[in-house]
Amino acid sequence: MGGAFLAAAVLARLGGRIGLPTIPLFILAGILLGPHTPGYTLLSNPHDLEMLSALGLVLLLFYLGLEFHMDDLKTGGRKMAIAGGTYLALNVGAGLIFGFALGWGTSEALVLAGVLGISSSAIVTKILVDLGRIGNPETRPILGIIVVEDIFLALYLAALQPILSGADSLSAALIDGGKAFGFLLLLALAARFGTKLIGKLMNTKDDELLVISFLGAAVFVAGVSEMFGVADAIGAFMVGLMLGSTSSGDRILKLVHPLRDAFGAIFFFAFGLSIDPGDLPSVLWPVVAAVVLTLAMNIAAGLAAAKVYSFGAQATSNIATTLVARGEFALILATMAAAAGLDERLSPFIAGYVLLLAVLAPLAAGRSHWLARILPGGRKKDDHQDQDQVPVSV
C-alpha cells in the first residue's frame, strides 16, 4: 500500500512538471508495477487493494454528493432528466449498434452497450476537482447526467445479470430490478424528507467524531446498497447528498478532502493493476473505432444538454469533454462477462478502451476551449462561458 501511494505520487509529480493530469499517471503507475508488466512487481494480486480501491470510489462519489445540493434537484429535476436521458439514448444506443456490428454475439453486444454508454463517475469527479470547475454553471447538468446514469446503471446491472447467467431472465430481472428501484426510492425519500433529522444526528463540534460519523455513514450505506443490487457508488452519493444540506455540510466537505484524494489515487492505481498491456494489440482497431464513436456521441450529447440549459459554446465543450471518461462500470461489466464465459476478446477490448479514454478525457477537458472554437457560437468574443478558462479554487 505504501509503495502504491509513493509510486502514484512520484509519477504524478513528474507528469505535473509537463502539464499532464494525475488520473492517467496513477493508472500508469499501476500498470508498470502490476503483475502483467515485465520488471519489478509491487503487487502480484490486484485484489489485494480491492477494499482500498472500493473505499476510494465511495469517497469520490460521497464528495460528489456533498457538492450536489438538494436545491439542484428541486429546481432542475426536469432538465436533468432530459439531459441525462438524451445522453444515455445517444451513447448506450450507439454502443449497442457498435456491439452488434462487431459480430461477437448478442450478450456481448449488451455488455458493450453498457461499456460505451456509461461515464466514469470517479474520473469525472476528479476532472471537475482538478480543473476547479465544481462551481461552474455547466457542472450542475454534468452531475445531473451522472445521477441519471447511476440510476440507469443500477437497473441495467439488475437486468443484465440474469441474462448473462442464463437464468429465468424476465422474472429475475423484474425481482432484482424491483429491489434496486425500491432501495433507490428509499434513499431518495430520506434525502428529501430526512435531512433535518440526519443533521441533528450528525451534528458535533468535535472534528474527530464528525469524520468517524460521516465516513461510517457513507461506507455503511454503500455496503447496504450492494446488497440490494444498487452500485455502492450511488449509495455513497446519496449519503453525501443528504449531509451536504445539513449544518455540518461545509465542515464535512473540508474534512473529506484528504481522504478523497488519498484513496481516490489508490482506486486509479488498482485499475492500472488489472490491465494487461500484452492483450491490447489484438483489439486495437475496435478500440480506436469505439473511442472515435464515443467522442462523437459525447459532442452530440453536449450540444443537446447545452440546448436544454441555454449554454454557450464553452460550456457545451466542457460538458462533452468531461463526460467522455469510462471506468469503474466498464470494469464491473468486464468481470461479469468473464464469469459468464463470453467472448475472450471482451476483456482486453474493455481494458484498452477504458485506458485510452482515461488518458484522453482529462487532456480533452483541460483543453476544451479548442473544441469550443469550432462549435456554434464559439467564435463570439462575448460568449459568457469564456470565463470558465479562469480556474477557481476548490
From CA 305, how far away is CA 322, in angstroms rounded? Answer: 13
How is the chain split into domains, by residue range? 1-168+177-374
Nearest to 138 by CA among 368, 361, 292: 368
138 and 132 in contact (C-beta within 8 Å)? no
Across 170-198, b (16+ Cβ under 10 Å) vs e yields eebbeebbebbbebbeebeebbeeebeeb
Single-letter amino acid code for the residue at 70: M
> Among 79-83, 157-161, 264-268, 336-340, where is mean pLDDT lowest?
157-161
Regarding predicted confidence, which is higher, 153 or 251?
A: 251
Nearest to 258 by CA among 217, 211, 216, 213: 211
Phi-psi region of 13 (alpha: psi -120 to 50; beta: other; left: phi over 0): alpha
Highest mean pLDDT, choosing among 16-30, 79-93, 218-232, 335-349: 79-93
For the whole model, what pTM was predicted? 0.72
Average pLDDT of the segment spanning 25-30: 84
From CA 345, how far away is CA 367, in angstroms rounded? Answer: 33
340 and 284 in contact (C-beta within 8 Å)? no
Average pLDDT of the segment spanning 260-280: 84
pLDDT of residue 116 exceeding 90: yes
Across 353-363, b (16+ Cβ under 10 Å) vs e yields bbbbbbbbbbe
42 and 7 in contact (C-beta within 8 Å)? yes
pLDDT of residue 387 exceeding 60: no
Residue with cell 457542472: 139
Q: Could you write out the DSSP letters of every residue in 144-178? A: HHHHHHHHHHHHHHHHHHHHHHTS-HHHHHHHHHH
CATH number of 1-168+177-374: 1.20.1530.20
Give the gyration radius of the chain's Cα atoms.
Answer: 20
pLDDT recorded at residue 341: 82
243 and 217 in contact (C-beta within 8 Å)? yes
pLDDT of residue 339 exceeding 80: no
